[in-house]
Amino acid sequence: MGLVNGKLSLKNPRLPDLAPVEVVALADSGALHLCIPEHIQIQLDLETIDHKEVTLADGSKKLVPYVGPVELRFKNRVGFAGALVLGDQVLLGPIPMEDMDLIIIPKTRTLDVSPDRPNIASSIVK
């Protein structure tokens, strides 16, 4: 399928006067979580809440900071998530994508709102 990127706005909802950070995130259906580099954590002054052990693509394990909350915005969608601090780019996994009702469109290699629900995010709660 190739790489799929999307422009997101990340904000610290605990510090409303702090400007959001605009990023190009890699939408990664295999990553699960929101992952941010350390410089984004610093820019948004995100507090470390905990540490989580993660398994990397090569099978190795690493203990990384878990920060948040992070407010995410994409087009007309908004969501909140915790973030793992690692890597050198923002990774958007399926947990925050599901929360905002976003989909990956393989044909165009784009991230977008669900075409079935373009005006408001939908979720299953049963």
pLDDT tens-digit readout, 4-39: 999 999 999 999 999 999 999 999 888 899 999 999
1 pLDDT band (50/70/90 cuts)? low
pTM listed for this prediction:
0.93
Distance (Å, whole) CA 50 – CA 33: 15
Which residues, including other chains, have CB under 8 Å from residue 125's CB and lie 6 or more apart?
none
Distance (Å, whole) CA 12 – CA 69: 7
**Angle, CA 48 vertex, CA 12 and CA 29 arms, to 5°:** 70
pLDDT tens-digit readout, 75-106: 999 999 999 999 999 999 999 999 999 999 98
Backbone angles phi, psi at 6, to 5 degrees: -145, 145
3 pLDDT band (50/70/90 cuts)? confident
Residue 125 pLDDT: 86
Query: CB 31: neighbour CB atoms within 10 A?
Result: 19
